[in-house]
Amino acid sequence: MGGQRTALVTGGGSGIGRAIALRLAADGFATAVLDLDAAAAERVAAEAGDKGYRAAAFGGADVSDRAQVDVVVQRVRDTFGPVAVLVNNAGLSGFKKFMNITDDLWDRILAVNLSGPFYCAQAVVPGMEEAGWGRIVNISSSSAQSGQQLMTHYVASKAGLIGWTKALALELGPKGITVNTIPPGFIDTPMLRDSADGGMLGASVDDIAALTPVRRAGTPEDIAAACAFLASEEAGYVTGQVIGVNGGRNT
């Protein structure tokens, strides 16, 4: 396994994170699946292992807690070696009328969606700098491009992630580290279905998909494919970019 690079995927236990973890493992990365839900992380790591890929679960870590992040990144390093690819996918969503957003909810959304990527990047960048090579991919949201009612807290956090991506890319580029963001648009996940069932989208998943230029909802694998490119050797001249994967809903 000499020379095998390590990928760390946060929120890797389900949905988009699971698809990214499995794709990076298939592409030859030793893949660390980090998720607050330890059982979910174990399932994805086992799924990768059953396919003959090298993966391990790192469950129970909250990315909004710097101390926990530092501990889990060291565990990943001890298991696989320094992190070469970081995918900041862990996030919190939710719908709430603006005037009903409490300080605690606002702080929690920002802590997970914005501070989490900050803590994770600070934990892994020294190893990337030492290697002279690194890839950071931040999973943001197309709602940060278009806006979304009842999600001002979420949209603010994801818009911040996009701006942070652009600034960090400028700083880390000379060190051989690229930083990009993928804002997914209308991806068919259990979370999306729950939102639709709760009437939060204003229409059914199928109705909205029919209005999408490519006439379908996205899949977690669509996001994973874009992430796999950004994590590759070939993407070394792509940095600071917002790579929309949304079927043409945002351009």
Distance (Å) of CA 89 to CA 98, 212, 227 = 25, 24, 11
Flag whether pLDDT at 243 surpasses 50.
yes
- List pLDDT tens digits, range 113-125: 999 999 999 999 9
Task: Tell me what the mean pLDDT of segment 17-38 comes to.
Answer: 98
Q: Residue 190 is which amino acid?
A: P
Task: Tell me what the mean pLDDT of segment 72-99 comes to.
Answer: 98
Mean pLDDT of the chain, nearest integer:
96
C-alpha–C-alpha distance, residues 193 and 135, integer Å: 31
pLDDT of residue 1: 38
DSSP letter assigned to residue 187: B
| SS3 assignment, position 85 | strand
Query: Measuring CA to CA, which residue among 165, 171, 185 is closest to residue 226?
Result: 185
Report the predicted TM-score, pTM, of the whole model to 2 decimal places. 0.97
Q: Which CATH architecture has domain 6-235?
A: 3-Layer(aba) Sandwich (3.40)
Label residues 144-166 b or e (16+ Cβ within 10 Å = b): bbeebeebbbbbbbbbbbbebbe
Q: Please check whether residue 172 is in contact with residue 137, taking contact to mean a CB–CB distance below 8 angstroms.
A: no
Domain segments of the chain: what residues? 6-235
- φ/ψ (deg, to 5) at 182: -110, 115
Active site amino acids:
154
Flag whether pLDDT at 191 surpasses 90.
no
DSSP letter assigned to residue 233: G
